[in-house]
Chains A and B, each alone.
Chain A
Amino acid sequence: MITELTSSERQYAAVILVVMAMVGVAMAALGRSDPFGVHGVIVLVYSVGLLFLVLSSFYAPEPRTDRQASYYDDPIKVGIALSMAWAVFGMFMGVWIAAQLAWPTLAFDAAWSTFGRLRPTHTTGVIFGFGGNALIATSFHVVQRTSRARLAGQISPWFVLLGFNLFCILAVTGYVMGVTQSKEYAEAEWYADLWLVVVWVTYFILYLRTLARRKEPHIYVANWYYMAFIVVVAILHIVNNLAVPVSIGHAKSYTIWAGVQDAMVQWWYGHNAVAFFLTSGFLGMMYYYLPKRAGRPIFSYRLSILSFWGITFFYMWAGSHHLHYTALPHWVQNLGMTFSVMLLVPSWASAGNALLTLNGAWHKVRDDATLRFMMVAAVFYGLSTFEGSFLAIRPVNSLSHYTDWTIGHVHAGALGWVAFITFGSLYTLVPALWKRDAMHSAALVEVHFWLALAGTLIYVFAMWNSGIIQGLMWRTYTEDGTLAYSFVDSLIAMYPYYIARAFGGLLFLLGALVACYNIWMTARATPLIAGSQLDLPDRRPATGTAPSPAE
């Protein structure tokens, strides 16, 4: 890793880490016993740890001079490892809090382990830790291969990857100490948010510069989606997290948005985090690894255009459907609802484009669990985008809102779509990256597939049932015109479904553990294959800047 850097790059890396360590010291001094001070110590330990890593190879021989002749794969490998580590952490937290809902004593009477604090460690762990690292790693891989150019930086890929993980660590450790902005999926406090802005802008510039180096006349579809993911997440993150800290030494801040505007900004953020983090980024993944694995051309370039611009345009308007029947004005709700309906066909166009790409390769889907992961992901993508538009319709939402149906819908997307496309992509990427013939064990991929599918189906069916039962119980009136059930009655009715949900989640977690083992063994044990020198960048000058004759 460090030996790939020149000695001047090693110096830059050391300087950055020393500055970060000093920021950590300053935070610890200013914050003292406030969680802000604890986070200062974490920043310090993180930076000093990495500094030791840099210094340990500081005087190692210079790397070979023709680095440009090969792709920059080290950050991708580390990103995959981090992604899987976060997957295990985040999914374990998910299983734990799912079990807490069925058996509340599993909070063990401590403050840090209450549902309210652990729940964001689960969501941040799986969305940002697992999903985010997988997106960063695959985007580095896809942009290099589809541009036939090496990443446009030597330190910046590491800065993006490790800086992003520092954000995740600050977020998660903050939650257990009770630090939160109380904004769903944006719980991390102001200093962590500021840090993420620095990291994300670096990511954006790195991506643009790499694309500018491309040797292909056209930018491939997958890169459109990764770019949309990077750009829009930056916008969402900055606007929703505008806040004023109570003091420079405290973790607590107050948002600059007030009342119903705050709610609207939050759900504009929340919904587009689903759109551009959990959808756009992973569509980028799908557009590369699915045709690659299937060995088939994309079904329709024109359909790609239609769905890309449809998703990018319509999603931005749809956030208000999270606030149906609230203090938000009726017209805003209706506007969000209509855009949610118009969003359906562009979403389905992506799912359809993926599934039709498999025409001519269905025998591979049958035999290859990796490709089947991606096929099932496309099916769940279609399913959950239909469900999303459906639940956004106000009368439907009056039944589903605040019930477990929402949780079921989210997990159909998060497990069935996001995690399935990620695992399919990683099983395609890992052997290619480590230059192996195939994964260590095809049988274990098969085991993982069935564990994941069974877990997802059990989870989603349990939540559909419990959500609809909840919704119906809450609106059932007696002949005398009063509500038939108390809230506690509906909770008791949920009990068996909560057990089933925890079990489904457990199966999914077991699958992720199997994947960790399989990826580890692939990276460690299998012999190299010949012919890997074919996977190299194009050394000719970039075409991105010159007019292309192919136009």
Chain B
Amino acid sequence: MAVEEIDAATGHATTGHEWNGIKELDIPVPRGVLMFLIITHLFAVIWWFVMPTWPLGTTYTKGLLNTDQRKIVAQKLVEASAERASWSDAISNSSYDEVLSDPRLMDVVKQTGHRLFGDNCAACHGRDGKGGKNYPDLTDHDWIWGGGPEAIAQTITTGVNSSHAESRVSQMPAFGRDEMLDPAQVRTVAAYVHSLGNPTDSTPKTIETIAAGRQVFLTTCAACHGENAKGNSDLGAPNLTDDYWIYGGDLQSIIATIHGGRQGHMPTWDKRLGPLQIKILALYVYSLGLETP
């Protein structure tokens, strides 16, 4: 069976075996292959001597460099914080106004804040801070909990309706669902609230409904939103007279809000971000408003 033959194309002998027409040439392993094999193995052996590699029961070979990834990371963290010390101390130790008036520090705030905002806040508020349906716009000058850098820092630290002990708390009750208002009252007060930002709503036909809605508003809603409906940032009650709406400003959305209530949620960032990071973020968010007309 094993009959060696010479392959015409290469001039080499076969191994003499055949499997359903397939044969093999008896060519030795090319020198280049052996050379590369030796080079890669040498690389490995050198690495074994230099770096930690082989297990030895309860320990391992430390290698000539005696290095370890944990040591390397710890050292890199020290180096990185030293590199940032030129501005991080200045921001930590300055008041908000001092940082705002220092263009050099504000450059850092904008660069670092962009990254912090993108990685932590953008999922809800959008990469540009303009929010979206159900998530407040941070650039529109309409602040629910106050728009100064200190107030913003406070909101970031404690969150809204969050697990933080000092969380900002704001719960708009479900006036319709919990039967504090009957459906007709929900509709009339919604018509009134809608008319606040849309004066053209008021026509001879609707004037009575709106007036009735105003009465409901004064007895039910004014406690938080104020008699003039301009809101109260101490309670987190939004201004209802402007064009900025979190949950939608059309009549249907307003009815849905009054009927079912709203309990917005923002997590606390107290443990996740450090004081310096929160300060930078507060300044960054504040500066977003400054850049928006």
Give complex CA distance A297, B20 in Å: 12
With contacts A216-B17, A482-B111, A482-B112 taken as known, whether A331 is within 8 angstroms of B24 at the C-beta atoms is: no
Chain B residues lying within 8 Å of A364, measured Cβ to Cβ, are: none
Chain A residues lying within 8 Å of B292, measured Cβ to Cβ, are: none
Binary contact track A256-284/B, C-beta < 8 Å → 1, others 0: 00000000000000000000000000000
**Contact in complex: A334, B52 (CB < 8 Å):** yes
Give complex CA distance A338, B45 in Å: 8
**Contact in complex: A341, B111 (CB < 8 Å):** no
**Contact in complex: A338, B44 (CB < 8 Å):** yes
**Contact in complex: B44, A550 (CB < 8 Å):** no
Chain B residues lying within 8 Å of A300, measured Cβ to Cβ, are: 24-30
Q: How large is the interface on A (under 10, 10 to 19, 20 to 34, 35 or more residues)?
A: 35 or more
**Contact in complex: A330, B44 (CB < 8 Å):** no
Q: Does B102 contact A (CB under 8 A)?
A: no
Give complex CA distance A303, B60 in Å: 35
Q: Does B133 contact A (CB under 8 A)?
A: no
Chain A residues lying within 8 Å of B119, measured Cβ to Cβ, are: 486-488
Q: Does B78 contact A (CB under 8 A)?
A: no
**Contact in complex: B22, A146 (CB < 8 Å):** yes
**Contact in complex: A301, B47 (CB < 8 Å):** no
**Contact in complex: A298, B24 (CB < 8 Å):** yes
**Contact in complex: B22, A291 (CB < 8 Å):** yes
Which of A338, A345, A488, A548 is close to B53, meaning CB atoms less than 8 Å apart?
A338
Give complex CA distance A344, B16 in Å: 30
Q: Does A177 contact B (CB under 8 A)?
A: no
CB neighbors of A among B118-132 (8 A): 118-119, 122, 127
Q: Does A475 contact B (CB under 8 A)?
A: no
**Contact in complex: A483, B17 (CB < 8 Å):** no
Q: How large is the interface on B (under 10, 10 to 19, 20 to 34, 35 or more residues)?
A: 35 or more
Chain B residues lying within 8 Å of A46, measured Cβ to Cβ, are: none
Q: Does A67 contact B (CB under 8 A)?
A: no
Number of A-B contacts (CB under 8 A): 160
Q: Across the two chains, which residue of chain B brings its CB closest to A543?
A: B1
Q: Across the two chains, which residue of chain A brings its CB closest to B38?
A: A345
Q: Does B69 contact A (CB under 8 A)?
A: yes
Q: Does A484 contact B (CB under 8 A)?
A: yes
Chain A residues lying within 8 Å of B118, measured Cβ to Cβ, are: 485-489
**Contact in complex: A345, B115 (CB < 8 Å):** no
Q: Does B114 contact A (CB under 8 A)?
A: yes
Give complex CA distance A226, B119 in Å: 48
Q: Does B204 contact A (CB under 8 A)?
A: no
Interface of A is mostly: helix
**Contact in complex: B36, A330 (CB < 8 Å):** no
Q: Does A19 contact B (CB under 8 A)?
A: no
With contacts A297-B23, A352-B33, A486-B122 taken as known, whether A480 is within 8 angstroms of B112 at the C-beta atoms is: yes
Give complex CA distance A302, B68 in Å: 41
Give complex CA distance A53, B280 in Å: 71
Chain A residues lying within 8 Å of B27, measured Cβ to Cβ, are: 299-303
Chain B residues lying within 8 Å of A217, measured Cβ to Cβ, are: 1-2, 17
Q: Does B97 contact A (CB under 8 A)?
A: no
**Contact in complex: A486, B24 (CB < 8 Å):** no
**Contact in complex: A299, B111 (CB < 8 Å):** no
Give complex CA distance A487, B114 in Å: 11
Chain B residues lying within 8 Å of A360, measured Cβ to Cβ, are: 7, 9-10
Chain B residues lying within 8 Å of A302, measured Cβ to Cβ, are: 26-29
Q: Does A309 contact B (CB under 8 A)?
A: no
Chain B residues lying within 8 Å of A209, measured Cβ to Cβ, are: none
Binary contact track B74-118/A, C-beta < 8 Å → 1, others 0: 000000100110110000000000000000000110011011111
Chain B residues lying within 8 Å of A547, measured Cβ to Cβ, are: none
Q: How far is the CB of A378 from chain B (nearest CB, A)?
A: 15
CB neighbors of A among B59-76 (8 A): 60-61, 67-70
Give complex CA distance A352, B30 in Å: 10
Instruction: Identify the B interface with A (CB < 8 A).
Output: 1-2, 7, 9-10, 14-17, 19-30, 33, 36-37, 40-41, 43-44, 47-48, 51-55, 60-61, 67-70, 80, 83-84, 86-87, 107-108, 111-112, 114-119, 122, 127
25 A-B pairs with C-beta separation under 8 A: A216-B17, A298-B22, A300-B26, A301-B15, A301-B26, A302-B29, A303-B33, A330-B52, A330-B67, A331-B51, A334-B52, A335-B53, A337-B47, A338-B43, A338-B44, A338-B48, A342-B41, A349-B33, A359-B10, A360-B9, A480-B107, A486-B119, A487-B118, A488-B118, A488-B127
